[in-house]
Amino acid sequence: MPAEISHNTDDPAPAAPLGTAIDRLPADLRPDARRNRERVLKAAREVFAAQGIDAPMSTVARRAGVGVATLYRRFPTRSALLAAAFDDQLAECATVFEEALADPNPGHGLYTLLETVCTTLVTDRGFDTVFMTGFPEALDCGRERACAEAGLNHLVQRALDAGQLRKDFDTADIPLLLLAVSGLAGQPPETALPAARRLLTYLFQSFQAHPPSRPGPLPPAPRMDLTGPHRTDGV
C-alpha cells in the first residue's frame, strides 16, 4: 500500500461530490473556458502521474499555462480536480475488464488484464494512489472496485473451469501481486516497467495449472539490489 499522504495541501474548501457544478461541464461553457479546462485536466494528469497526487496545484496551473486563480475557479479543491482528471481513466479500466471477459481464452484475458493494470500502476503515480487507496472520496472508486472484483472473480473462475489455473489458486493472490507492483510506482520508468513485467511473468507462471516445461525468456531484470535501483548513467 502506498505510504500515508496528507491529501490536504492547497485545498481551500471541502471536496464536492461528483455531479455538482464544480465538475459538471456546462453546455454553454465559453470556448476559451472550455480550452482552459481541457488544458488544466491534461496538465493535471501529467503532473499527478509524474509526481503523485500531492503535487502542488500551482505546478498544475503552470504546466497548463493558466493562472492559479483560473484553475481554482473551475476546480476549487484538489478532490474536484482529481475526480475530473481520473474519471476517464477509471472508465478505461472498465473497458479493459470488459475486453478481458470477452476473450475466448480466459487465461490470456487474465494475463492481458494484469499486464495493463501493472503497467498503469508503475507509470502513473497518481492513478496508483487513486486506485489503491480510494482517494478522493468524490471519485466513486468503491463502485469501480466492486465491479472490478466481480469481473475478476468471474474471469478467474472461467480460467479455473478451463483448467488453466492451479486448483489452489485464490483470487486474493492478485491483490498481493498488485500491492507488490505498486511499490515500484516511485521508481523511474526504465526501472519500474521491466521490474513489473518480470514480476508478473514469474508469478503468472506459478499461477498456471500446467506451466510450460520450457517457458519463454523472462523480461530483462532491471539493475537493482537491496539498496534500490542502480543508475544507468554510472552516477
| Rounded Cα–Cα distance for residues 76 and 72 (Å) | 4
Higher pLDDT among residues 134 and 151, named by residue: 151
Evaluate whether 74 touches 40 at the Cβ level (below 8 Å).
yes
Say if strands 224-225 and 228-229 run parallel, antiparallel, or are unpaired. antiparallel
In the chain, the percentage of residues whose pLDDT exceeds 90 is 36
pLDDT of residue 104: 95
| Rounded Cα–Cα distance for residues 191 and 199 (Å) | 12
pLDDT of residue 167: 93
Of the candidates 121, 111, 120, 118, the residue with the CA atom closest to the CA atom of residue 206: 111
What is the pLDDT averaged over residues 214-220?
73
CA 205 to chain centre: 23
- pLDDT band at residue 150 using 50, 70 and 90 as cut-offs: confident
In the chain, the percentage of residues whose pLDDT exceeds 70 is 74
Task: Judge residue 3's burial from the number of C-beta atoms within 10 Å of its C-beta, 0-12 exposed, 13-18 middle, 19 or more buried.
Answer: exposed
What is the pLDDT averaged over residues 115-124?
90
pTM above 0.85, yes or no: no
Render pLDDT for 170-205 as a digit per residue (tens, 0 to 9). Answer: 999 998 998 899 888 878 888 889 999 999 998 999
Among 24-28, 60-64, 98-102, 219-223, whose mean pLDDT is lowest? 24-28
Look at residue 23 and tell me whether its pLDDT is greater than 50.
no
